[in-house]
Amino acid sequence: MKKFPLIIFAMILLFPSCRHGETGWTDLLDKDLSQWDNYLSYRFPAGYKGEVPRDRDGNEIPPIGLNHDKYNVFTVIEEDHTPVLRISGEIYGCVVTKKEYANYHLTLKVRWGNRKWDPRKKLLRDSGILYHSIGPFGAGYWRSWMLSQEFQVMEGHMGDYWSQKTSAIDIRAFLPENIMNPVADPSQPFLPMGYGEETPGFCLRSANYEHMDGGWNTLELICFEDKSLHIVNGHVVMILKNSRYDKDGQMVPLVRGKIQLQSEAAEVYYKDIRIRPLEKLPEEYARYFQ
């Protein structure tokens, strides 16, 4: 009889997902960032307006590129025997999963560091989770990321939506008016926004559930077929469906891709990055789309 506790203990060591109390989870973060690549573009100056950076002679400056992080923008430290990804934010770019994913539940924890850089020294700390990421790096205004959908990670704005390049989506949200942005709300019909739509590709989360004491925040992203949910500290803050993008002049579904975590002029830390596949949308989430 005394052998059974030893067997259970061995199973916990062999199957790390059991430590979380749920099966099917894959840990995406280790000390070597073995499941991620990294991309760096530029140190953008204050006043940047979307132009290609140039040297003093007017020649275009190429981006730093893929897996050339000689500047320690992306490092893994250890806290309480847990790997923690530190993103310095000094240079724009991202870490990006080596694999593509579709139909999944992603969860991670995030907290802010203290440092900020141009061109955001006087602005809110900023990062983001870019999902369904496809195509080349350097797409869009900041020349730093892949075409994707964005789960915003920003002070006071965790869970906002941004379109990246030619992506679009429908969100349960109040109509915008004059200078007001659309605001997500589960009581509202789905509002198309993003590339090719009357409403631009930005939507405010329904409410602010960020822990403002500098501690860790738990973010969850549910993606199933063309639908997604942004969840902040257990609260659903955005309901999205009909994910799509422009391909050769035609809008087509955007339901699979890599996952990027942004370096965007602010020091930020991520840990407990886990993912599990979904064979169907659980009822607790499916009800938001009925």
* DSSP three-state, residue 6: helix
The HSE-up count of residue 89 (CA atoms within 13 Å, CB side) is: 23
Which burial class, exposed, middle or buried, applies to 283 when counting CB atoms under 10 A from its CB (0-12, 13-18, 19+)?
Answer: exposed
Question: Is the pLDDT reported for residue 124 higher than 60?
Answer: yes
Each residue's pLDDT tens digit, 5-61: 444 444 444 434 333 445 799 999 999 999 999 999 999 999 999 999 999 999 999
- pTM of the predicted model as reported, rounded to 2 decimal places: 0.92
Considering the chain, what percentage of its residues have pLDDT values greater than 70? 92
**Residue-level pLDDT at 22:** 53
Name the CATH superfamily housing domain 16-289: Exo-inulinase; domain 1 (2.60.120.560)
Distances 281 to 100, 121, 242 between C-alpha atoms, Å:
19, 41, 15
Q: Where are the domains of the chain?
A: 16-289
**Residue-level pLDDT at 290:** 94
Each residue's pLDDT tens digit, 242-267: 999 999 999 999 999 999 999 999 99
Question: Is the pLDDT reported for residue 90 higher than 50?
Answer: yes
Question: Is the pLDDT reported for residue 185 higher than 60?
Answer: yes
